[in-house]
Structures are given as C-alpha cells and as structure tokens.
A and B are shown apart, each in its own frame.
Chain A
Amino acid sequence: MALIEVTHLNKAYGKVKALQDVSFDVHESEVFGVVGPDGAGKSTLFNILTTLLLPDSGNATVLHHDVRTDYLEIRKHIGYLPGTFSLYPDLSVEENLVFFATMYQSDIEKNMPLILPIWQQLLPFKKRPAGKLSGGMKQKLALCCALIHKPTLLFLDEPTTGVDPVSRKEFWEILRSIKQQGITVVVSTPYMDEATLCDRIALLQNGQFIKMDTPQAIISDFRGTLVSLRTPDIFRLHKLLSNAPFRCTYYPYGEHMHIILEQPLEELLPQLKQFLDQHQIQFSHIQQITPSVEDCFIEIVKNSHAQNH
C-alpha cells in the first residue's frame, strides 16, 4: 500500500497557482524524487505533505492519515529537512540533537545506530554552535535531527542546494543507506543529474506534474534523435537555428549545443553540416547521444509549451 497518496491537490497563493491538480503515490521503501526548477512548487508540496500548510482542495494522506485532520499523528512518524537550515544556530551540535530527540520523545541511545555513520563525522564538532558549522556539516546535523526518532518517511526539501559536488555525492550515498534501513525517502532537487539516483521521479513545472516514472523509463520514452555538437559559437548558433531548414528543438548544454531532431541523424546530417558551413559556424564532436533526464525534461517542457500554443 502506498505511504503517500495525493489526489487532485491544489494550492494557490493569491493569483499564483503553486500546485495544480497534482496526483501521485509514493510506495514503501523507495526514493521518490520531485524534480523541477526554482518556483515550480516543490516546497509548497513538501509543506503540505509535512502538515505545515493546508491545501486549497484535493486530498493528501501521509502514512494513511489525512494531512488536514490527523496531522499530529503524521508528525510522529515523519522526518523533515527543510530547504533552509532551520536548527538553532546558537545551540551546540549536541544540544540540537538532544532537543529534537526530546521533542519527538525518542531515545537517542536506541536510535543511534541509524544515524551513527553521520553522527561520527559530527562528533569532533559536538560542542560547536550549529550556526558555525560548514554547509555540509549543517546538512548532516539537520539530517541527524530529522532521523533521530526513526521516522517511517523522510522528507528532504532540496537537501543539496548550495552544497559542493563532493558533499552532494556523499549526501546521496547517505540517502541510499537510509533507504536500506527501510525508510522511505521523498526528496526534491533542482539538479537533474541527481534525478537518476532516485527510484522514481516526478517532473514538476509551474505547479503541475508533467511526467512521473522511473528515470530509465523517462529516458526510454524520449522521442526523436538527440544530437550533440561542440562549438565556440553557441550564442550565434542558438539564434540561427530558429531559421534552420528542418524542424528541431535546441538548447545550449554546457559547451555543447543539443539539438533534438525528428528524423534519424543519418538522414539529416548532410543538411545540418551544410547549414553550419553556410553560416560559418565552427564545430566539432557532432554525434548522436543518449539523452539524460535533463534532456528529457527539456523536451517534455518544450513539447508541453508547443501544445499550449
């Protein structure tokens, strides 16, 4: 049975529709990722599921309890890591942990094995005020505080935003190990590369779920041919492609330009090369590549835009 069931959820702040008709389930022992750009509605969704915010309409149950009425019951069994650091900066590492453990009326000793690998890294700083920790350490402490009551369900709102790449990788390894302890994880992130680390992902755009599946399924659903080419003239090429003699979707991707063609590359390659030469665009490394989740996301967003217009 699903641990989270959400049906037709809506939430608006005045005229801004933060969530529109969102429905999904989260199953036991999975890492469910909510992926979307800033302002997509991720935090609103998390605040509703963690019982901090009431939805306008639609239903949401967490651990089979209604978020509107049974919120106290839900709060006993979930852990929540908010998007911004929200521990007491003037209390020490240890004091914060003891404080939140007591809030949950939980036994630190008993649940220590769960957080021990993370806690050990924090031990050298246990007398330090939480506000004076480094960004990565703050996140680890927040995670310890969110796990100390051994929740069934853990919510992480953008846990890796503003964290360095090494710490990000480490953090995801921790999430994997948490999952192995039988804790279901719901995590949001604006980073597409992290999406592939989830069991299932939902792509959130303007308050709507535009796609929800496993990362592999999303990638295999990709329609069209993805071509990557490297060029120093990205900006000029980006402008020129709108007048290309073939239908395509394109977007810069680092130092590369990604072009999604509707036909196989072999058919269009001569035409494409001619187009580039004609406009004196230098290029190299032109090849068909396997799309990443980000490519899929961009394709889906562009398609949904095309349908809307």
Chain B
Amino acid sequence: MRVILILIKKEFLQVFRNSLLWKILLLAPLAEFLLFPYTADYEIKNVHVAFIDHDKSTLTADIQSKFSASPYFINHGDIASKQEADQMMKNDEIDFIIEFPDQFENAIVRQEQTKILITANAINTVKAGLGSEYVQTVLGNYFTDLGEQALQMSAVPLSALNTTAESSGEAQEMTASVLSHTPQAQLVTTHVYWFNEQMNYQNLIVPGLLIILVTLIGAYVTALNIVREKEIGTIEQVNVTPIKKWQFLLGKMIPFWILGMVEFGAGLVIMKLMFGITIQGSLLLLLGLTSVYLLVMLGLGFFISSMANNQLQAMFIVFFLFILFVMLSGVFTPIEGMPDWAQYINYANPMSFFMSALKTIILKGSTIENIRHQFIVLSVMAVVLNTAALLSYRDKAK
C-alpha cells in the first residue's frame, strides 16, 4: 500500500512539475470547448446565389428579394446569360443558380405546373446539400405565404453536368448537379429543423468533446508517460526493485484515472455554464460510466506502451486508433449512416459504446436500465485490456 501511495505521489509531483503538461491538461479542454462547437458546425452561412430570370415579373423579383433578406444567402442578383452564370460558378463565385422560366408568374397565377431550375456547385458536397435544402425552404416558405397550395412537387435530378477546370497544372473535377424542382408547400417542415440547427448541433458535439477529452487523457497521456520512463531508463531502475507488476500498473493508473475524472468534471461544468446543457439523467450514473470508460482507455494506453519503444511510436499508434475510434464512434457522424461492415467494427470500438450511453444520459435522461448493455460491454473491455496490459508489461526482457 505504501508502495502504491508513493507511486501515485510521484506521478502527481511529475505532472505538476511538468509545467507544459499540466498547462495542456488545463488549456486543451478549454480551447476545445471554446473553439470547436462554433467552428465544427453544419450551419452554412454566406451561400452565394445568383438568378437567371427569364420571366422578369413582380413575382420573381419578390422571390429574389427574399433571398437578399435572408442572412444565409448573399444575392448576386439577376445574371443576364446562362453562360455568364456558369462562368461565375466555375470561378467559385456563386454556389447556386436559380433559373426562372419565361411565363413563370403567369403559370403560377393560372395554377399550371411550372419548374424552377436550381443548379448547385457540388464541389463542397455539404454546402451543396445543405444549401439546396435552404433554397428549397426559402422557396417553399414563399409559396406557402403566397397561399399556393396547389403546386405539385417533383424533385427529380434532371442531369449531372461535369466540367473540368485546370488549376495550377492539376486537373480538378468540378461537378455541378442540376436539379429540377417544383416548389411545394410540404417542404416547410424542414425549416424548423435546419434553421435551429445551431442549438441541436452543439447538443451533439459538446458531449462528443467530453469523450475526446477523456480518451486523450486515458490513452495518450498514459501511453506517453510510460514510454517516456522507458526512454529515460527510469523504468529499469524501478523494475530492479522488488515491486510487483500490478503495483506498478496501479501506481500509473490511479493518478491518470483521477486526472481524467477531474478533466471530465471540469468539462461537465463548462458544458453547463457555456452551453447551458443540463444533464437530464443521473450525474452519478454518468460518472460511473465515465470511470469505467477511463479504465478501458488506461488499459489501452498501458498496453500500447508495452509495445512501443519510444514516444514517437506510441504517439502514432494512439493517434491511429484515436482517429479510427472517433470516425466510427458517431461523435461527428451518425453510426446509422455507415455501411454494415463499419458498424460491425464498431462492436470493438469502446468510444462508440461510451458515446451512445453518454449522449442518452445527458440529453435523454436515460437510466441504468437503458444503458446496461453499454455498461457491460465497457466493463468487459476494461477487464480484457487491463489483463492484456498486465501480461504484456515486461519487467524483464527476453
């Protein structure tokens, strides 16, 4: 016991003397929380839109003014020719071309079917996808206000247009998809969803940041710490003492477990104060879940450290796994959208289990019954990884 206590004390002394390390531990979460929720955002602003108005009616002018008024669009106005508009899109000056056919207003008034052509610059697929939703929403809104319920909708892609632009010797493919829409009132429903996106997305990303924080401390800091001891030779000096492997393991894990929990707690406070996200479920359950997940990450870090001979190797291994975990975990993209094989890989991804359980506790107020499955899986992973770490840690070399 005395041995483990002094090992823990030693670790804390080292962390707090390493001025860079504890500053990073302190600043990294703050920086993440201050920057990430505002930058990693699916909100698209400043969508550049231009019109080709063959109708030049009061109605089309009115629609154009709606786009001018919207904070999401920058209206480049009415372009005289189709060629000119295409050129602007090739130059990346505009994202959308909205083309009104001749006799558009008349057709609307006579309640005949008519078409608006929306051309999107799909180089940035996210922008093109979300942008066209916005465009449809604005149009849909307009026609609802107009009381035009009778219009039929058909949103069938007419054709895809591929053009190639030369840029600094390299061929870049620019794809502009041409969509044909008849505006329709039903589209209004998306309005609520997209335009309140900011709040929803933060609810998703802030818990994701908590997870990244805990993972970094658990796996990264632990692996690098132990490998550093290998590098400077202190591990040999410790190995030659009669302490047992499990004592050494505990002496490393307890301090980093405490650090991880403190960071997590700080993250929860920031989440509440900065983003006003309140934990719907039990705080105790949340902390319990996190402590199990931390054990998984500590075991992983420890296991990696027994394979790596220097900090560079350890860093690359952890980095690789980290990216893999994050990509598959559903922190940034929904798991449901992934192909089946990726979802199978996720059964070995502790971050994915933690994410789904943590999200439901924080946002939905889930209880232990709802997340029992994740709890059990994470516990098994913790036991397996820590056993592997204990077995693979060599206090004598071959």
Contact = CB atoms under 8 A, between A and B. Distances in A.
A272 interface: no
A91 B3 contact: no
Given A82-B233, A86-B234, A98-B6, A104 B396 contact: no
A80 B13 contact: no
Interface stretch (B108-116, B144-152, B211-219, B239-247): B239-247
Contact of A99 (B10, B236, B239, B395): B10
B221 to A, nearest CB: 15
Interface stretch (A68-76, A193-201, A297-305): A68-76
Contacts of A54: 396-398
Contacts of A91: 10, 13-14, 17
Contacts of B234: 86-88
A200 to B, nearest CB: 24
B229 to A, nearest CB: 9
B242 A102 contact: no
A78 B396 CA distance: 15
Interface string B252-272: 000000000000000000000
Interface in A47-105: 47, 50-54, 71-72, 75-76, 78, 80, 82, 84-91, 95, 98-100, 102-105
Interface in B32-49: none
Contacts of A100: 237, 241
B237 A86 contact: yes
A52 B396 contact: yes
Nearest to A74: B242
A52 B240 contact: yes
B10 A53 contact: no
B240 A72 contact: no
Contacts of B17: 90-91, 129
B3 A102 contact: yes
Interface in B42-73: none
A53 to B, nearest CB: 5
Nearest to A81: B237
Interface in A261-287: none
A48 to B, nearest CB: 9
Nearest to A79: B240
A86 B233 CA distance: 5
Interface residues of A, number: 31
Contact of A103 (B233, B236, B238, B398): B238
A78 B238 CA distance: 13
Contacts of B241: 75, 100, 103-104
Contact of B240 (A51, A87, A89): A51
A102 B240 contact: no
Residue of B2, B13, B240, B396 with highest tally of chain A CB at under 10 A = B240
Contacts of A78: 240
Given A84-B233, A98-B6, A103-B3, A53 B238 contact: no
Given A51-B396, A72-B242, A95-B13, A80 B237 contact: yes
B239 A52 contact: yes
A105 B3 contact: yes
Contact of A90 (B18, B237, B244, B395): B18
A89 B241 CA distance: 18
B232 interface: yes
A117 to B, nearest CB: 22
A90 B14 contact: yes
Given A88-B14, A102-B3, A53 B396 contact: yes
A208 B238 CA distance: 29
A239 B243 CA distance: 57
B396 A105 contact: no
Residue of A53, A86, A95 with highest tally of chain B CB at under 10 A = A86
B25 to A, nearest CB: 16
B2 A105 contact: yes
A56 to B, nearest CB: 9
Given A86-B233, A102-B2, A105-B3, 16 more contacts: A47-B397, A50-B240, A51-B396, A52-B240, A53-B396, A75-B240, A82-B233, A84-B233, A85-B233, A90-B14, A90-B17, A90-B18, A98-B6, A102-B3, A103-B238, A103-B241
Interface of B: 2-3, 6, 10, 13-14, 17-18, 232-234, 236-244, 395-398
Interface of A: 47, 50-54, 71-72, 75-76, 78, 80, 82, 84-91, 95, 98-100, 102-105, 129, 145
In the A-B complex, the 4 residue pairs with the smallest Cβ-Cβ separation, listed nearest first, are A86-B233, A103-B241, A102-B6, A86-B237
